Amino acid sequence: MEQRYRELRETVKNACASVARDPNEVNIIAVSKTYPADAIMELYELGHRDFGESRLQELQPKWEQLPKDIRWHFIGKLQSNKVRRATEICSAIHTLETSSQLKELYKSDRRCDVFIEVNIAEEQQKSGILQNSLDTFAQDVIRCEQANLSGLMTIGPVVKDPEQSRPYFEKLRHLGEAIGTKNLSMGMSLDFEVAIQEGATHIRVGTLLFGARE
């Protein structure tokens, strides 16, 4: 784990250097879904604090068991009836996409950072709002006192060459600039270097850190 973590941080540093960015601008979210608590603790003991989960029923026992200074990022599809609980556990929700989720946010007792998920390639099987709905939805989120609109998030199409992801990441950056948000949650284990070059502030990396999932 230590070697993989060190190599990842070095790769992030080099990707930032290639476009004259400060590596401190890039937040590595260790995607810990399906991995046990002891694997998370191994990375925690190396000083890492940001972890990503996609199911509340899996996150709940980890949250109860693990140190409370961990910053949990919810990165999966979030059912509206679980929004309030997600805000109680998580530092940020990366998958806000519906008005029904937003209605539940209004009921929360805690202000939470949120990312609007954008279906950047307009793939039918993917979650996220379409680009032509972004302006209106972003204004609705801004009006919600319990939501701090942190930025935009996307899961790009599956590609063989990371360079094929670049146009989608570039497009998300332009959308973020247009609505005035500074953070971009984009890029995973196979394409995070390209995402960083296109402005990612949050990358979501699992297998490169924890190894292949069973």
Domain ranges of the chain: 2-210
The string of pLDDT tens digits covering residues 86-101 is: 999 999 999 999 999 9
Q: Are 107 and 86 in contact (CB under 8 A)?
A: no
**Residue 126 confidence (pLDDT):** 83
Dump strand ranges (E) for 49-119.
50-53, 71-74, 92-96, 112-117
| Type of residue at 53 | E
The string of pLDDT tens digits covering residues 2-34 is: 999 999 999 999 999 999 999 999 999 999 999
Superfamily of domain 2-210 in CATH is: Alanine racemase (3.20.20.10)
The string of pLDDT tens digits covering residues 32-80 is: 999 999 999 999 999 999 999 999 999 999 999 999 999 999 999 999 9
Q: What global pTM score does this model have?
A: 0.95
**Residue 211 confidence (pLDDT):** 82
